[in-house]
Amino acid sequence: MTDRRRFLRDLGLAASGAFLAGCNRISQSESGARVLESAEWLTQRVQRIVSPSTALAREFTEADISPVFRPNGTTMPQTALYQSLMKNQFRDYRLGVEGLVDRPGEFSIDQLRALGERTQITRHDCVEGWSAIGKWQGTPLGALLAHVGVKESARYVMFHCFDEWGEDTPYYESIDITEARHPQTLLAHSLNGAPLPVANGAPLRLRVERQLGYKHAKYLRSIEVVSSFEDIGDGKGGYWEDNGYEWYAGI
């Protein structure tokens, strides 16, 4: 069924008053389908129709780059592991890749770079009401996923970060496999032509350009391919989602 037909069907359900009941039923029978529980699902459908899953976020020119890319949230992870990697200029850094993949492993920045590179100048929008334009360079996440091989049951990619927001509460995020394979979804190692500053997520952060700032996980420690995220954190798919933000944060 096409997105449009599915959307029209869903609207029909909404009009008949069966929409929420129908969604709840689906979400109970399908693990990890929390997104179906709310109007968020509808938002995502509308978004995918207005701008299909392949649509690119707007890209800007060098002249548009903000003089300062404001850091936000964690700007210096305090964990011992991060601090020791930082002291050695991240030379020993490896991104863990685990979960529903054929070949899990650990990747240095150089190994990631060998898989592919993309540069893009985009606007970052934070829910707190500020924006900044920056030039990001990194490996398309899709290239890494193709390299490790994604299993059939995979639905989401989780991003586990070095920084903690409370005891044993690392920042984390998630996106679906379609978003993960979008050409502008990057594991970025550089901002404005230089290695990522610590404040902006060194040595590696996510860029997921069609969604709001909190989705762009900084300080990536590992990525995990999963079929459901209900057993991770409080089960809503991300640190801020566990604290009330929407999982699908389309701009």
Q: Which residues pair with 139 in a beta bridge?
A: 187
The four Cα atoms 235, 127, 249, 59 give a dihedral, to 10 degrees, of: -140
Ramachandran quadrant class, 116 (left: phi over 0; alpha: psi -120 to 50; beta: rest):
left
Which one of ligand MTE, Mo ion, none is in contact with 216 (Cβ closer than 5 to 8 A by kind)? ligand MTE
Largest CA distance in the chain: 61
Cβ atoms of 141 and 157 closer than 8 Å: yes
Residues engaged in binding ligand MTE (CB under 6 A): 70-74, 126, 161, 163, 171, 200-201, 213-214, 216-219
Q: What is the C-alpha to C-alpha distance for residues 13 and 149, in angstroms, rounded to an integer?
A: 37
Which of 28/243 has CB closer to ligand MTE?
Answer: 243
Q: How far is the CB of 152 from ligand MTE (least distance, A)?
A: 30
Q: How far is the CB of 20 from ligand MTE (least distance, A)?
A: 30
Cβ atoms of 35 and 246 closer than 8 Å: no
Exposure of 179 by Cβ count < 10 A (0-12 exposed, 13-18 middle, 19+ buried)? buried
Exposure of 14 by Cβ count < 10 A (0-12 exposed, 13-18 middle, 19+ buried)? middle
Which of 3/128 has CB closer to Mo ion?
Answer: 128
Instruction: Show contacts with Mo ion in window 68-127 (CB under 5 A).
Output: 126
Which one of Mo ion, ligand MTE, none is in contact with 147 (Cβ closer than 5 to 8 A by kind)? none
Place of tokens 């500020």: 130
Q: How far is the CB of 27 from ligand MTE (least distance, A)?
A: 27
Which one of ligand MTE, Mo ion, none is in contact with 203 (Cβ closer than 5 to 8 A by kind)? none
Which one of Mo ion, ligand MTE, none is in contact with 70 (Cβ closer than 5 to 8 A by kind)? ligand MTE
Which one of ligand MTE, Mo ion, none is in contact with 192 (Cβ closer than 5 to 8 A by kind)? none
Which of 41/137 has CB closer to ligand MTE?
Answer: 137
Which of 141/212 has CB closer to Mo ion?
Answer: 212
Which one of Mo ion, ligand MTE, none is in contact with 161 (Cβ closer than 5 to 8 A by kind)? ligand MTE
Q: What is the C-alpha to C-alpha distance for residues 241 and 249, in angstroms, rounded to an integer?
A: 10
Instruction: Show contacts with Mo ion in window 206-225 (CB under 5 A).
Output: 213-214
List residues binding Mo ion (CB under 5 A).
126, 213-214
